[in-house]
């Protein structure tokens, strides 16, 4: 297997290398689920490597390269199982609107054989997005100057695709759902029950998950990543939220299934698989991210509470009256 470094444990394997070189070594129909956030079509740049998908010279070339990943995931995914892609629509440079990146991902997957299955809208708080992205289109100052150049805090989306075929190992929940990953307080009157028809707690959780609008994702519930940042060239590093990952893992994989991420980052998807009784495989090109993933997952089998979660500094997010970004 072509990789720079790797670590293999009983329940997970991490690879430091290019997914385009590593994925072909996986057997056909061997993966129960894949969950990942690809580079966003030129919006962010993660490294200077020519193998880094974020360094494609243009939008069209990005998709030509991304095709290889999607084809390989199709080959190695079990029939009747899912791949979950986290993405957002991409702002164009200057004041020229946005690119339908998520729509292009949907059309790409359909072209390569996947069935488009579901789309979830993940709410984001506008001021926090403005601070993280430095987008002046999201400031009150821009509203005052010319609101025709104001924009919204575009949602993140979870796009779910299914590989056609018979699922020989149904992902069943005989007693319903017992664990909720989200911010909404569970009503105290709701109780679990062994009979799924009487399990009001599971029915409530399912309604949150089945909604197309996920307003209850805890945006700051992510693995620690600050130590993975290397230089001023770093444009973006914010891991996929653990709530999103846990929902994918619970809904679309069985215990002990292999959950794969071809863009591992700091290990979030592997972590989400492990704490929910699955096995995980992660591939990451950038060495600093890979090293942070190793640190994040080193103690997860011993004690999940030892994994450091990242929390925003609430002082970073002032009231609307002080939302102006520096010129």
The model's pLDDT over 238-252, given as tens digits with 9 standing for 90+, comes to 679 999 999 999 999
pLDDT tens column, 127-170:
887 877 777 888 888 889 999 988 888 889 999 999 999 999 99
Q: Examine residue 61 and state whether it is found in any structural domain, yes or no.
A: yes
Of these ranges, 73-77, 88-92, 128-132, 223-227, the one predicted with the greatest mean pLDDT is: 73-77
CATH code for position 82: 3.40.50.150
- How many angstroms separate the CA atoms of 318 and 145, rounded? 21
- For 3-17, what is each residue's pLDDT tens digit? 899 999 999 999 999
For the chain, give the number of residues. 327
First CA to last CA across the chain, in angstroms?
A: 48
pLDDT recorded at residue 190: 94
In a domain, 73, yes or no: yes
In-domain check, residue 312: yes
Q: Is the pLDDT of residue 207 over 60?
A: yes
Q: Please tell me the predicted confidence (pLDDT) of residue 42.
A: 54
Q: Give, in order, the Cα–Cα distances in Å from 109 to each of 63, 71, 317.
A: 11, 9, 37
Q: Give the chain's domain count.
A: 1
Distances (CA, A) of 164 to 35, 118, 297, 298, 312: 18, 14, 33, 36, 41
CB burial string 127-140: b at 16+ within 10 A, e below: bbbbbebebbbbbb
Q: What mean pLDDT value characterizes the chain?
A: 85
- The answer to whether residue 133 is domain-embedded is yes
Residue 195 belongs to a domain? no
153 occurs within a structural domain: yes
241 vs 238: CA distance, rounded Å: 9
What lies within 8 Å, CB to CB, of 187 at 6+ separation is: 204
User: Is residue 191 a contact partner of residue 96, using CB atoms and an 8 Å limit?
Assistant: no
Sign of CA dihedral 61, 62, 63, 68: positive
Looking at residue 100, its pLDDT comes to: 93
Instruction: Report the alpha-carbon distance of residue 56 to residue 269 in Å, rounded.
Output: 24
Distance, CA of 86 to CA of 212 (rounded, Å): 14
pTM strictly above 0.75? yes
184 in a domain, yes or no?
no
180 found inside a domain: no
Instruction: Provide the residue range defining the domain that includes 102.
Output: 5-167+214-316
């Amino acid at each position: 297997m072509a990789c720079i470094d790797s670590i293999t444990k009983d329940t997970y394997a991490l690879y430091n290398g290019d997914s385009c070189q590593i994925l072909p070594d996986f057997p056909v129909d061997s993966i129960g689920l894949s969950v990942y956030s690809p580079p966003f079509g030129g919006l962010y740049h993660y490294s200077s490597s020519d193998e880094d998908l974020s360094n494609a010279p243009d939008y069209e070339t990005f998709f030509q390269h991304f095709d290889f990943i999607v084809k390989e995931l199709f080959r190695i995914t079990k029939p009747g199982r899912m791949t979950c892609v986290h993405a957002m629509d991409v702002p164009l440079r200057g004041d020229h609107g946005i690119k339908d990146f998520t729509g292009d991902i949907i059309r790409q997957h359909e072209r390569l054989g996947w069935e488009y299955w579901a789309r979830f809208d993940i709410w984001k708080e506008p001021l926090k997005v403005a601070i993280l992205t430095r987008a002046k289109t999201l400031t009150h100052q821009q509203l005052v100057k010319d609101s025709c150049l104001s924009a919204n805090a575009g949602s993140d989306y979870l796009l779910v695709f299914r590989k056609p075929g018979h699922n020989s190992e149904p992902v069943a929940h005989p007693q319903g759902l017992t664990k909720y990953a989200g911010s909404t307080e569970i009503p105290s009157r709701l109780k679990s029950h062994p009979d799924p028809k009487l399990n009001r707690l599971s029915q409530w959780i399912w309604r949150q998950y089945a909604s197309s609008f996920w307003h209850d994702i805890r945006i700051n519930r992510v693995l620690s990543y600050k130590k993975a940042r290397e230089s001023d060239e770093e444009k973006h590093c914010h891991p996929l939220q653990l709530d999103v990952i846990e929902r994918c893992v619970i809904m679309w994989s069985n215990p002990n299934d292999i959950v794969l991420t071809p863009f591992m980052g700091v290990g979030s998807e592997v972590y989400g698989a492990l704490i929910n009784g699955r096995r995980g495989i992660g591939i990451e090109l950038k060495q600093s991210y890979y090293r942070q993933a190793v640190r994040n997952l080193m103690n997860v089998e011993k004690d999940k509470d030892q994994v450091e979660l990242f929390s925003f500094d609430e002082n970073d997010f002032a009231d609307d009256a002080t939302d102006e970004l520096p010129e």
